[in-house]
Amino acid sequence: MDKFTTLTGVAAPLPLINVDTDMIIPARFLKSIKRTGFGKDLFYTLRYDESGNERADFVLNKAAYRGAEVLVAGNNFGCGSSREHAPWALMDFGIKCVIAPDFADIFYNNSFKNGMLLIKLPQAEVDQLMEDAENGANATVTVDLEAQEIRRPDGQMIKFDIDPFKKHCLLNGLDDIGLTLKKEDKLADFEEKRKAQPWL
């Protein structure tokens, strides 16, 4: 997967709590195990009306946010069923970082394993970023993973915590397969030793 180091992009505000994975990507669209092609159906029931037309008032349909790479969301984002398609849909749309007070555990872990940075912040700091994000095209923030800092549009910094192992994986572009391949020499050595057993 791609490395995540520093991201500068438009932040879109989604001030909803308990956004579940079915709201992120409805079950009827889970017809593929490829990681691409889901962005067009992201937040389908919020983005489109019953006829499939865009809802003009939904944030990601507004011109200023169509290219958003950061999402500022409410508490308990990603709750519900444990579908990996949810981070796939966000990333396929272009969202590389989600900031919220809290996330559902399975969604949180799935996102990191797919190269997306999730940042937990106190509600007061999320509220500041939500207010920034409501400024449309001026809502550009910079997320520096190495320094663990978010630079707001006015230049102020917000620090964030992250698990050191998750940080290491994102900075180095390591998913589960990449982590396994880092031990390729040890795996090969083990296989050679196994072949030497007389019962094999």
**Higher-confidence residue: 67 or 182?**
67
Q: Which pTM value belongs to this model?
A: 0.88
Rounded-to-10 torsion of CA 122, 127, 130, 135: -140
The yes-or-no verdict on residue 176 having pLDDT over 70 is: no
Q: Is the pLDDT of residue 102 over 70?
A: yes
Q: Is residue 88 part of a domain?
A: yes
Quick check: is 200 in a domain? no
pLDDT at residue 86 in the model: 96
Residue 31 lies in a domain: yes
Q: Which helix (H) or strand (E) holds 72?
A: strand 70-73
DSSP code for 155: S
Is 150 contained in some domain?
yes
| Within a domain: 190 | no
Report whether 184 contacts 195 (CB < 8 A): no
Domain housing 74: 6-175
Mean residue pLDDT of the chain comes to 90
73 is a domain residue: yes
Q: Would you say residue 64 lies in a domain?
A: yes
The CATH number linked to 65 is: 3.20.19.10
Structural domains counted in the chain: 1
> Would 189 be classed as within a structural domain?
no
CA 56 from centroid of its chain's CA atoms: 24
pLDDT digits (tens, 9 = 90+) for 54-80: 999 999 999 999 999 999 999 999 999
